[in-house]
Structure 1
Amino acid sequence: MWDNVFPNFLIGLREGLEAGLVVSILVATLVRGGNKERLPQVWTGVAAAIGLSLSFGAVLTFSSQQMPTTAQEAFGGVLSVIAVGFVTVMVFWMRRNARHLSGEIKERVAAALTMGAGALILTSFLAVGREGLETALFLWTNAQTAHGSSAGPLIGGAVGLVLAAVLCWALYKRVLKINLTRFFTWTGFGLIVIAAGVLGYGLRDLQEGKVLPGGSSYAVDLSGHVDATSWYAQLVQGVLNLTTQMTWLQVTAYVVYLAVVMTLFVRGLNPAPAAKPAAEPKPEAVRVAAGAAASTSAPASVSQSAAASGGTPPSGSPSGTADGSGGGGTSRPAAAGARRGVPRWAIPVAVVAVPAVIAGLVIAASGGKKAAAATVSVSETDCGKGFKAPQPGRQTFQMHNTGSKASEVYLIDPASNAVYGEIEGLAPGTTRDLVATVGSGTYAWRCVPTGGKPVTSAAVRVSGGGSAKAVLPLAESELQPPLTAYKAYVDAGLATLQTQTAKLQADLKAGDLGAARADWLTAHVTYSSLGAAYGTFADFDAKINGRKDGLPGGVSDAGFTGFHRLEYGLWHQQPAAVLAPFADRLAADVTGLRKAFPTQDFDPSDLPLRSHEILENTLQFELTGDTDEGSGTNLATADANLAGTNELLSVLRPLITRRAPDELKVVDADVARLQGLLDAAHHGTAWTPVESLDATSRAKINGATGQLLEDLAPIPDLLEIRKSA
């Protein structure tokens, strides 16, 4: 929670100080001009602006709750980008106008005084409302990035606003001096860095909301090296919105925004000074106060120090009153007449109530934030006690296990057994939330206690709302035919591999390095096409296809064996006599693997997972050239990985088609696109090395692989083994 406090504290402090300065200048101008009776109009405008800002935040919060998950991601992403735009404009506007803010406000006050109460209310409302809306939008955006709790951003923003109010009061009372130009400059640097992170996070939301592509193409992936839940990772994410996994789009946007905006900001810090009257002193510090009048009349571009401290009123209103009569604190008949018959409290109440009423209407029109459903109890004998027909939309059910055994809990369509939501392993005496989107249809709960029989609740009917997406359950037995077919494919591949490694072994014994290089590639491609079975190869995989990474001796380490050790030697001109023992060992390991494979366990649930994981490894290791030991054949390995993925999809196709008929159409198109790009890099028996690809071709291959990964991502969830059938 606390890692999200600082950036929102900075937003609250800066925006609050901007709004507070405006209010202080308005108040000081009225007090020094003898128009103290008009102060309630200023506070009315301020209250209306605060009410509008709170209402705006409420609309964002409650209306977004009714959206599907992907729509929420897209909505949050769009608003994040808009928030970055607002903050960027605000940073540059305040840097440019800080010195002249007081003069501009005084001119507006002078004009408002001549037009009556409404104009002064509107002046203060617009001046404060802009800052309030920016603050509400930015705090809401940051609250969405705070996983688990929005308390951190709200606390940070609140503390910043309170401190800003205290500073403005101190400035007004002339007990504190602040160089506001320097303050807004340094906070500007901080906000630009924070905004860059928010921009990256917003673009990630748009990718997850399927608005932008490339959600699986990572430029940075430290998830295997850095614990994302550690305090330091959380601190960096909370302050800078930098995560352990960032896509190419995120990184590019972050770097470009930071470079361009920071450069423009720095360049504009020392503009050529405008010509000033000789008598005007150069302000060193800015003071907002209502003290003694300045000794000379200030021009329109007067500094905050002179204006806010109650300098001479603007020309056109010599005494500070709208009619120029000398005021002295008395109200004007015209203004009094305009308010005759209207209670003093009517206007303030109206301007504060109107935004709240409008926000309420918007929230009501969007369906509002539905209250969480009543707690639903489950046990070995009674599943779904307390369950009543929910309202359509995204719902949170509190599932409480009152039994003595752990239980799998499913929200299902009783007619088809399709699953809308699930909780795995709900322990006795515990309560967990189950979140599901409810549409028009029939719903029931099914509980499967450990070692017990499934229990199903009475069904309820929900009317209204759109259709909700459900997944047909999958029993472990349904994966047995695909598993049997795939094991046969792997067994045949290992038989072929055994023959190919024996040929490689013979090449090196004969001293034919040219033939050995060709046969090495043939054998390695065969092995790489069996990727889905890596999990069952146990220690054999490290022996057959291990890398030098992590070995104390690197390429010279005794533990560096198999295909990559031979690759290093064959393409680094090592003699056949040196490499022959490694070929002998490789052939022996392949033979041992073929004998052991039929007896090794193969978890059926691994099949759907591997459909995605094979190409994840391809993107991470092969398309980066990370595994290359000199042959330059990473694209051949990628091609073999794609063939292995295709084989896996072919045995799973009937199960996928039954659950998501259109899923494989998209995947097949992705596969064809990637295959075409890889074929373009294949020239007879030669492959273009990854590092030799031109930038466009490499980007296309990476992009096609990333898109295929993104479209393969739903398959493991579609084919997850569930006990609700």
Structure 2
Amino acid sequence: MWNDAFPSFLIGLREGLEAGLIVSILVATLARAGQRSRLGALWAGVGAAAALSLSFAAVLTFTAADLPTGGQDAFAGVLSLVAVGFVTAMVFWMRRSARGLSGDLKARVTEALGRGAAVLAITSFVAVAREGLETALFLWTTAESAGESQGPVIGASLGVALAVAACWGLYRRVLRINLTRFFSATGVVLIVIAAGVLAYGLGDLQEGGLIPGRTALAFNLASIDSGSWYATLVAGTFNITPAMSWLQVTGYLLYLPPVMFLFVRGIRATSTATSTATSTATSTAAGAAAAERPAPATRARRRAAARAADEQALAARIAAKRAKEQERSAARRVPRWAVGTSIFAVPAVAAVTAIAVLGPAKSGTAANAVALSESGCGTGWSDPRAGAQSFELTNNGHSTAEVFLIDPGSNAVFAEIENLAPGTTRPLAATLSGGSYAFRCAFADGTALSSKTYTLGGGRTARASSGFAPVTDQDLQQPVADYRDYVQQTLPVLLADSRRLDADLAAGDPAAAKPDWLTAHLDYEGLGAAYGTFGEYDAKIDARATGLRGGPHDASWTGFHRIEYGLWHGQSAAVLRPLGDRLVADVQALIKAFPSQSTDPNDLALRAHEILENTLQFQLTGTADYGSGTALATANANLHGTQVVLSTLAGLMRTRDPQALASIDTWIQTVAADLNAARDPDGSWTAVNRLGSARRQRLDADVGQLLEQLSVVPGLLEERSSA
């Protein structure tokens, strides 16, 4: 939480200090001019600006909440880019304008006083509203990127509170702050934070489908625990995560260095100009000061007299303008209550209007408050109609529940919520065509019941949710058995090829060992062992050196990649021979243990996507290559493993989403053609780092597109016996 609070704290402090300085200058100007009676109009403008900012935040929150998931991502992404633009303009504007801010505002107040209370209120409103809108937008985007609101709210509140205290101290002259240095230092930090928000926004646009390439990762530091304190600190503060796409990294690097360079250069230029002007003024005045230097008391009296004269002149100008304006506007004076009411009411009315226009045509939140418990499921759907439907599902029971919106005739699932805890409320959205629907609730204590059937009139609705038949545990038994048969048939081949490699190492023949190493390694990679399928044996047989204390020199490192490192780095037979023996022993242990290892039916559908996800993260980036240059051969074996897994699931997919299966097959053939085209003329595999830029980008893009197609498989074939 606290790591998410820092960016919001800095925004609250800086923007609060900017707004507070503006208000302090306006109040001081009125006080010096003897116009304290006009403070009400000034505070009315400040209050209206605050109301507008809060209304803007409400529009952002409620509009985003009513969008579908992809729409929320796109909405957040666009606003993140807008926020980056605002913040960038803000830090540059404040760097240029900090010195002349007081004089500019005094001139505006002088002008406004001569035109009446309404103009003064509008002046303060415009001056403060800009800061408020920037604050609302940037705080909203930082909260979105954090994924929670508690930390950002606490951080922003602390920042604003500190800013208010600082402004009070400045106004009372009990505190002195070098504002130029303050805004320069915070500007540097905000530019770094804005770069992270930019990367986050680009990622959201990719998640929302507006920009392709979400699965084309520039890096994926899988060895870093994303939940660790240091990972959450970096992610919360700078929006840098262990896995980022190429577009996110490119946007980050294209923004941060040039913007930071221009900002720092501007700071130095301003400092140089100030120093030069000060030096010139000092040298010019030196002779005169030496000739006649008044006593301190004399100088103080002169300053006091000059200040009094300035204030008298200011008061005279204000009085003259005020009298002239009163003569002109006496006949058209607007009541004060109308001015105050308008400037407070207009933002609220505008916010309500915007929410009504940008939100759904008819909100289902209140009408479709649906309750469930062990005694009743899905009660309260008072507005069953075709089209977009929004529900607020509340679990009034005593145990956690899964809730499904189904077709009671075919049991097809159209929407679902998992793990709805007792006493909690969560949203559920679906776009429905005409037909029959019901809620089905499955509680953790074994209770399962359905609601009454709701009949929706009308025909097919555009972009309606596609229902799919739920997969039962029994449906997955045969695919799991088929996959396990394939593994048990392949493991003896792996053992034979591993023994051949071991013999080469024992004979001290690296020339023979290298091709035999590749053969045995591809046997293992073709098994589809995604994310440690074989438990501890996967770590022994195919682990990388990432995360080991000694890196590639760690004594505990064993398996194919350790042997690869030794063969392609010229290590001796004495070093490699024990590694070959250990590999054979570990494969034998896997063969013995596999019959007793259980396979979760849901893991099979997950594996269909995860195998090539690993390929994109580790093989196509070259991070799993320890010298052999055979990452593309491994990718080809992974593609074969994916096809094996899909072949066991094809029957279930064909009856639920045949178009998805056909699209997957098309992209598998495309990726296979890309890999074959990357081979050298003699049939050997080209190292990833030797691929041309265009060919490598095409391969990454095609694998990313295949992963997009495969991403539907886990959700489509998840076991849903309770539905």
| TM-score, normalised with respect to structure 2 | 0.83
Alignment of 1:590-629 (within 5 A): 601-629=598-626
Q: 1:470 to 1:311 in 2, by over 3 A?
A: farther
In structure 1, how many angstroms separate the alpha carbons of the residues matched to 2:132 and 2:687? Answer: 55
1:723 maps to a residue whose letter is S
In structure 1, how many angstroms separate the alpha carbons of the residues matched to 2:229 and 2:559? Answer: 40
Q: Tell me, yes or no, if the aligned pair for 2:219 and 2:244 is still in contact at 8 Å.
A: yes
SS at match of 2:240: coil
Q: Tell me, yes or no, if the aligned pair for 2:505 and 2:513 is still in contact at 8 Å.
A: yes
Match status 1:467 vs 2:464: yes
SS at match of 2:464: coil
Match status 1:143 vs 2:163: no
What is the CA deviation profile of residues 303-348 of structure 1, one whole-angstrom value per residue up to 9, with x for unaligned ones? xxx9xxx993699x77132635xx7xx89632661554x4321111
1:663 maps to a residue whose letter is A
Q: 1:626 to 1:38 in 2, by over 3 A?
A: closer
Task: Report the equivalent of 1:486.
Answer: 483
Q: Tell me, yes or no, if the aligned pair for 1:192 and 1:262 is still in contact at 8 Å.
A: yes
Please state how far the C-alpha of 1:187 moved relative to its aligned partner: 2.0
Task: Report the equivalent of 2:160.
Answer: 161
Q: 1:173 to 1:511 in 2, by over 3 A?
A: closer
Task: Report the equivalent of 2:295.
Answer: none
In structure 2, how many angstroms separate the alpha carbons of the residues matched to 1:558 and 1:7? Answer: 43
Q: 1:358 to 1:510 in 2, by over 3 A?
A: closer
In structure 2, how many angstroms separate the alpha carbons of the residues matched to 1:658 and 1:293? Answer: 94
In structure 2, how many angstroms separate the alpha carbons of the residues matched to 1:321 and 1:596? Answer: 92
Task: Report the equivalent of 2:668.
Answer: 671
2:248 maps to a residue whose letter is Q
In structure 1, how many angstroms separate the alpha carbons of the residues matched to 2:330 and 2:616? Answer: 76
Task: Report the equivalent of 2:391.
Answer: 395
In structure 1, how many angstroms separate the alpha carbons of the residues matched to 2:570 and 2:23? Answer: 79
Match status 1:25 vs 2:22: no
What is the CA deviation profile of residues 163-213 of structure 1, one whole-angstrom value per residue up to 9, with x for unaligned ones? 333433443344433322122122222322222222222222222222233
In structure 2, how many angstroms separate the alpha carbons of the residues matched to 1:537 and 1:124? Answer: 67
Task: Report the equivalent of 2:94.
Answer: 94
1:243 maps to a residue whose letter is T
Please state how far the C-alpha of 1:386 moved relative to its aligned partner: 5.3
Equivalent position to 2:409, from 415, 438, 442:
415
In structure 2, how many angstroms separate the alpha carbons of the residues matched to 1:156 and 1:314? Answer: 44
In structure 1, how many angstroms separate the alpha carbons of the residues matched to 2:424 and 2:615? Answer: 37
In structure 1, how many angstroms separate the alpha carbons of the residues matched to 2:7 and 2:702? Answer: 37
2:604 maps to a residue whose letter is L
Match status 1:352 vs 2:340: no
Equivalent position to 1:246, from 240, 244, 247:
244
Q: Tell me, yes or no, if the aligned pair for 1:532 and 1:645 is still in contact at 8 Å.
A: no
2:129 maps to a residue whose letter is G
Task: Report the equivalent of 1:206.
Answer: 205
Alignment of 1:143-542 (within 5 A): 143-148=143-148, 150-222=149-221, 224-226=223-225, 228=227, 230-270=228-268, 271=270, 272-273=273-274, 312=310, 319-321=316-318, 323=320, 333-334=326-327, 337-338=330-331, 340=333, 342-365=334-357, 366-367=359-360, 370-371=365-366, 374=369, 376-379=371-374, 382-385=376-379, 388-389=382-383, 392-402=388-398, 408-424=402-418, 430-441=422-433, 442-448=436-442, 454-461=448-455, 467-494=464-491, 496-497=493-494, 500=497, 514-532=511-529, 537=534, 541=538
Please state how far the C-alpha of 1:499 moved relative to its aligned partner: 5.7
In structure 2, how many angstroms separate the alpha carbons of the residues matched to 1:251 and 1:656? Answer: 36
Q: 1:557 to 1:231 in 2, by over 3 A?
A: closer
2:100 maps to a residue whose letter is H
Match status 1:637 vs 2:629: no
Task: Report the equivalent of 1:656.
Answer: 653
Task: Report the equivalent of 1:720.
Answer: 718
SS at match of 2:100: helix
SS at match of 1:211: coil
| TM-score, normalised with respect to structure 1 | 0.82
Q: State which drifts further: 569-578 or 182-191.
A: 569-578
Q: Tell me, yes or no, if the aligned pair for 1:417 and 1:724 is still in contact at 8 Å.
A: no
What is the CA deviation profile of residues 245-287 of structure 1, one whole-angstrom value per residue up to 9, with x for unaligned ones? 4334334433443322222221111322486996999xxxxxx
Q: 1:695 to 1:533 in 2, by over 3 A?
A: closer
Please state how far the C-alpha of 1:63 moved relative to its aligned partner: 1.4
In structure 1, how many angstroms separate the alpha carbons of the residues matched to 2:144 and 2:108? Answer: 37
In structure 2, how many angstroms separate the alpha carbons of the residues matched to 1:641 and 1:688? Answer: 17
Mark the runs of 5 or more structure 1 residues left unpaired by the alignment: 282-291, 298-305
SS at match of 1:472: coil
Q: State which drifts further: 573-582 or 111-120.
A: 573-582
Task: Report the equivalent of 2:70.
Answer: 70
Aligned length: 691
Q: Tell me, yes or no, if the aligned pair for 1:608 and 1:715 is still in contact at 8 Å.
A: yes
Q: Tell me, yes or no, if the aligned pair for 1:490 and 1:533 is still in contact at 8 Å.
A: no
Q: Tell me, yes or no, if the aligned pair for 1:66 and 1:369 is still in contact at 8 Å.
A: no
Task: Report the equivalent of 1:301.
Answer: none
Q: Tell me, yes or no, if the aligned pair for 1:375 and 1:400 is still in contact at 8 Å.
A: no
SS at match of 2:327: helix
When you count helix as a share of all residues, which structure comes out higher? 2
Q: 1:311 to 1:421 in 2, by over 3 A?
A: farther
Q: 1:437 to 1:658 in 2, by over 3 A?
A: farther
What is the CA deviation profile of residues 372-409 of structure 1, one whole-angstrom value per residue up to 9, with x for unaligned ones? 96462332x6434556557844433112334xx77544
Aligned CA-pair RMSD: 4.0
What is the CA deviation profile of residues 434-473 of structure 1, one whole-angstrom value per residue up to 9, with x for unaligned ones? 4321333543222345685742221224679862354431
In structure 2, how many angstroms separate the alpha carbons of the residues matched to 1:94 and 1:557? Answer: 53
Q: State which drifts further: 569-578 or 417-426.
A: 569-578
SS at match of 2:320: coil
In structure 1, how many angstroms separate the alpha carbons of the residues matched to 2:159 and 2:530? Answer: 56
Q: 1:99 to 1:522 in 2, by over 3 A?
A: same
What is the CA deviation profile of residues 554-612 of structure 1, one whole-angstrom value per residue up to 9, with x for unaligned ones? 88989766544554555455678987786677667667766775665433322111112
Please state how far the C-alpha of 1:693 moved relative to its aligned partner: 3.5
Mark the runs of 5 or more structure 2 residues left unpaired by the alignment: 286-300
In structure 1, how many angstroms separate the alpha carbons of the residues matched to 2:259 and 2:224? Answer: 32
Q: 1:602 to 1:16 in 2, by over 3 A?
A: closer
SS at match of 2:318: coil
Q: 1:627 to 1:143 in 2, by over 3 A?
A: closer
SS at match of 2:209: coil
What is the CA deviation profile of residues 30-72 of structure 1, one whole-angstrom value per residue up to 9, with x for unaligned ones? 4434544444433333232222212211111111111001111
SS at match of 2:440: strand
Task: Report the equivalent of 1:289.
Answer: none
Please state how far the C-alpha of 1:490 moved relative to its aligned partner: 3.5
Q: 1:669 to 1:93 in 2, by over 3 A?
A: farther
Q: Tell me, yes or no, if the aligned pair for 1:30 and 1:320 is still in contact at 8 Å.
A: no
Task: Report the equivalent of 2:691.
Answer: 693
Q: State which drifts further: 710-719 or 445-454.
A: 445-454
Q: Tell me, yes or no, if the aligned pair for 1:142 and 1:198 is still in contact at 8 Å.
A: yes
SS at match of 2:439: strand
Q: 1:532 to 1:478 in 2, by over 3 A?
A: farther
In structure 2, how many angstroms separate the alpha carbons of the residues matched to 1:185 and 1:557? Answer: 47
2:428 maps to a residue whose letter is A
Task: Report the equivalent of 1:53.
Answer: 53
Q: 1:579 to 1:180 in 2, by over 3 A?
A: closer
